[in-house]
Structure 1
Amino acid sequence: MPNLRSDLVFAMPFSNVLHLPFADKVKATRLAGLRQMTIQPQEVLKLVAEGLSIADMKSIAADGGIEIGRLDPLCPWVPDWRPTNFGADYARAHDISPKVFFDLCDELGCRYMSLNATFPASRYTNEQITGFYAEICRQAAEHGVTCDLECIPMWGVVSLEQGWKILKASGAKNGGFVFDCTHFTRSNPSLETLRQIPGNLSTASSSATAMSRCGRASRWNWNVSSGCGRGRVTSRSPPSSTRSMREAGSCRSGRKCSPPAWRPSRRRRLPTCRAGRCFSTRP
Structure 2
Amino acid sequence: MKERLFSLAQLVALTRTPPQLLALAARTGCDGAGLRLLPSAPGGVHHPLMDDAPLLRETLAVLRDTGMRVFDLEVVRIGADFRLAHWQRFLAVGAQLQARHVLVAGDDPDEARLIEHFGALCDAARPFGLTADLEFMPWTAVSDLKTAARIVGAVGRDNAGLLIDALHFSRSSSTLDEVAALPPAWLHYVQVCDGAVPGPATVEGMIFDARCERLLPGEGAIALQALLARLPAGLPVSIEIPNEARARAMGHEAWAASCVQAARRVA
Q: 1:22 to 1:242 in 2, by over 3 A?
A: closer
Aligned residue identity for 2:75: P
Is the 1:12–1:37 contact (alpha carbons within 8 Å) kept by the matching residues of 2? yes
Q: 1:9 to 1:218 in 2, by over 3 A?
A: closer
Q: Partner of 2:81 in structure 1?
A: 80
1:195 CA drift (Å): 1.9
Question: Which of the pair has the greater relative contact order for Cα pairs under 8 Å at 6+ separation?
Answer: 2
CA displacement 1:21-69 (0-9 Å, x = unmatched): 44432321111101111112234426853x6242331112221221223
Aligned residue identity for 1:13: A
Structure 1 or 2: more helix by fraction: 2
**Number of residue pairs aligned between Structure 1 and Structure 2:** 226
CA displacement 1:178-212 (0-9 Å, x = unmatched): 21011111112222221210344221211323444
Aligned residue identity for 2:153: K
Q: 1:23 to 1:142 in 2, by over 3 A?
A: closer
CA distance in 2 between partners of 1:67 and 1:109 (Å): 8
Tell whether 2:30 aligns with 1:30: no
Using structure 1 for the length normalisation, give the TM-score.
0.67
1:166 CA drift (Å): 0.9
Counterpart pick for 1:180 among 165, 184, 187: 165
- 1:1-283 correspondence runs (5 A): 7-42=3-38, 43-45=46-48, 48-49=51-52, 52-75=54-77, 77-80=78-81, 97-119=86-108, 123-124=109-110, 126-212=111-197, 220-221=217-218, 238-245=224-231, 248-249=232-233, 257=234, 276-278=258-260
Aligned residue identity for 1:45: P
Q: 1:69 to 1:241 in 2, by over 3 A?
A: closer
CA distance in 2 between partners of 1:206 and 1:195 (Å): 16
Aligned residue identity for 2:68: I
Aligned residue identity for 2:230: S
CA distance in 2 between partners of 1:258 and 1:155 (Å): 25
Is the 1:41–1:104 contact (alpha carbons within 8 Å) kept by the matching residues of 2? no
Aligned residue identity for 1:68: V
Structure 2: tracts of 5 or more residues without a match: 39-45, 201-213, 238-245, 248-253
CA distance in 2 between partners of 1:47 and 1:133 (Å): 21
CA distance in 2 between partners of 1:277 and 1:258 (Å): 18
CA distance in 1 between partners of 2:134 and 2:127 (Å): 18
CA displacement 1:100-126 (0-9 Å, x = unmatched): 22121122221211101134xxx31x3
Structure 1: tracts of 5 or more residues without a match: 82-94, 223-236, 250-256, 261-268
Q: 1:219 to 1:46 in 2, by over 3 A?
A: closer
Aligned residue identity for 2:22: V
Sequence identity (%): 16
Query: Aligned to 1:129, what secondary structure does the other structure show?
Result: helix
CA distance in 2 between partners of 1:26 and 1:72 (Å): 15
Aligned residue identity for 1:39: L
CA distance in 2 between partners of 1:17 and 1:7 (Å): 25
Aligned residue identity for 1:220: P
* RMSD of aligned Cα (Å): 3.7
Query: Aligned to 1:59, what secondary structure does the other structure show?
Result: helix
> Following superposition, which runs of at least 4 residues in structure 1 exceed 6 angstroms of deviation?
none
Using structure 2 for the length normalisation, give the TM-score.
0.70
